[in-house]
Structure formats: C-alpha cells, structure tokens
Amino acid sequence: MSCVTHPFLSSPWRERLIEKCQQLRIEPPVFQVMSEIRGGRTAWSSVVKVQGQYISARFWYDGKNVNNAMEDAAEVAFKHLSGTSQPASPMYRLGDIIPISENMHQENF
C-alpha cells in the first residue's frame, strides 16, 4: 500500500508523517479529500488513515487550499503518532461509520 499525494506540492507535514510511519514500521498514510457544498460554495477537508484509524483535518478549506487540508490532517496524525498531543479532531477505527453528509463528496489521494 502506498501513500498517494500531489508530488508537485510541498508537503512538510505529510513527509514527516510518512517518515514517522516508516520509523514505526507501519503502513504509510492514505489520504482522502472530501468536499461539501456550503451556502453555494464548496468547502474541502481531508482525512488520513494511519494504523487503521481515520484522523480528520481540523478545518475546512477553500478549493484552492485543498493542499492545506491534507497538511492539516497530516499534522494531527503526526502529533498523535508522536505522542505529543491528542487529536483535536474526530478519530475513527477501521470499520466505523464516518459521518458524511449527502452533500459531501470524497476522493482518495
């Protein structure tokens, strides 16, 4: 299993998360990007799967800042794996139902 990201965008938190996963000898992170229509505009966020857990970004972003959503999720996951902080966002185990509204669309990255 591999981590699929936008290789042309700088991603320091994603890189740190990938290195942490390698250090811990666990599968690399897998990112999902989600969108939701809010008041005529589309908001974007991200979830990262690490060790069978889904950890979400803390915030929703404008479409031009979707990279920030993945960085946000990577930062939360990295800090969780490092034991430096508890995730401020919901965390889900594999098989749990992740609340996704009917207006939400998700893509795997």
pLDDT single digits (tens) 65-101 = 999 999 999 999 999 999 886 545 555 554 444 444 4
The CATH number assigned to the domain holding 92 equals 3.30.160.20
State the Cα–Cα distance between residues 87 and 48, nearest whole angstrom: 12
At residue 58, the 3 state secondary structure works out as: coil
Say how many C-beta atoms besides its own lie within 10 A of residue 42's C-beta. Answer: 15
2 belongs to a structural domain: no
Domains in the chain: how many in total? 1
75 belongs to a structural domain: yes
Give the predicted TM-score (pTM) of the model: 0.71
6 belongs to a structural domain: no
Q: Give the domain extent around 88.
A: 12-108
